[in-house]
A = this chain, B = another copy of it.
Amino acid sequence: MKRYRNGEIWDFEHQMPVALGASDVILGLDGGTTSTVCICMPVIPFSDPLPDRPHVLARAVAGCSNHNSVGEAAARETLEQVMAEALMKSGSNRSAVRAVCLAVSGVNHPTDQQRILDWLRDIFPSHVGLYVQNDAVAALASGTMGKLHGCVLIAGTGTIAYGFTEDGREARAAGAGPVLGDWGSGYGIAAQALTAVIKAHDGRGSDTTLTSSILRTLHLSSPDELIGWTYADPSWARIAALVPVVVSCAEVGDEVANKILYDSVEELASSVKAVVQRLDLCGEDGKGSFPLVMVGGVLEANKRWDIGKEVVKCIIKDYPGAVAIRPKVEPAVGAALLAWNFFMKESLRGCFKS
């Protein structure tokens, strides 16, 4: 994405007439650790139910927008650019926007939320509904089509479990980054595999096929070289990219790789269980039904060793009412549906007041 000088981002609004018949729009933004996606969709009449396959006018993609990783200024620029691009591509502009939901990773505290809301307020007119959430919330909404109820488990480079009750209580588990023990994540799985290679090499651990598989993948000749490799670029995504290698080794029966994957299943399931228990999502008898939205590369069901399926099995043992959902739309669409849901509720509340 090209670099803009201050203000330039929105220049297209003066240069391009809004398309004939263009109507009001919603923006939904999903900002994860590795990329940021913004989609623009038409508003949905208040009288209509939220659609199963919402119509997307335009989609724009940018890099990481986690302020913890790239800093406040760079995060803000990325977010602003990707929103401008989505509007421009859909032949629309800010005057047509009714509601925006920014669902970004790194929003862990009300102060994070407020800081982002403050600068969003400077960008959009005052009547626009603005909402800021953790990116996990958009992922949940992508599985429940905009409804905040149930629990989402995300396991990609990082991992988090996030849940909501129908009356608006919320809870989360994990999602604190690698230093703080997100061991079920893609990063966690790969870091443990790398550790196993080092331990096998220096005599602390058992031999494992992970050694030859990982060295071959990284074009290295000795486990010693892994030290320089990990230091050379500390990006978590680069390390997490080794997950398929771990899964392949586990599939051919490597015990070390299998233990790493089973440990990760336990960790991921324990995050969900902690959220379900704190929110009483399964009711008093422990058998109530709730949506369990499963998102992220680690949980994808395209392998013989299916981490996602194992996690669900492990959760259902304790909470048989969990209904696993793999979303049919992407999280950015979830964010847009969420924005519209929030905006409708606020508008209706406003109507009753006046």
A residues with a Cβ closer than 8 A to B are 68-69, 108-109, 171-177, 179-181, 191-192, 194-195, 198-199, 202-204, 224-228, 230-231, 234, 239, 270-271, 274-275, 277-278
Contact = CB atoms under 8 A, between A and B. Distances in A.
A181 B192 contact: yes
Contacts of A176: 195, 198, 226-227, 230
Given A109-B224, A174-B204, A224-B108, A239 B179 contact: yes
> How many of these chains are in the complex?
2
Given A194-B179, A231-B68, A204 B109 contact: no
Contact of A202 (B179, B224, B226, B274): B274
Contact of A227 (B171, B180, B198, B271): B180
Given A108-B227, A109-B224, A191-B179, A203 B239 contact: no
B179 A228 contact: no
A333 B239 CA distance: 39
A86 to B, nearest CB: 28
Nearest to A270: B204
Closest 9 CB pairs of A and B: A181-B195, A203-B274, A173-B202, A68-B231, A179-B230, A204-B274, A180-B198, A176-B198, A108-B227
A199 B181 contact: yes
Contact of A203 (B109, B226, B227, B277): B277
Nearest to A191: B179
14 contacts: A68-B228, A108-B228, A173-B203, A176-B195, A176-B226, A176-B227, A176-B230, A180-B191, A180-B194, A180-B227, A181-B191, A181-B192, A181-B198, A204-B271
Nearest to A172: B202
Contacts of A195: 176, 179-181
A35 to B, nearest CB: 19
A116 to B, nearest CB: 14
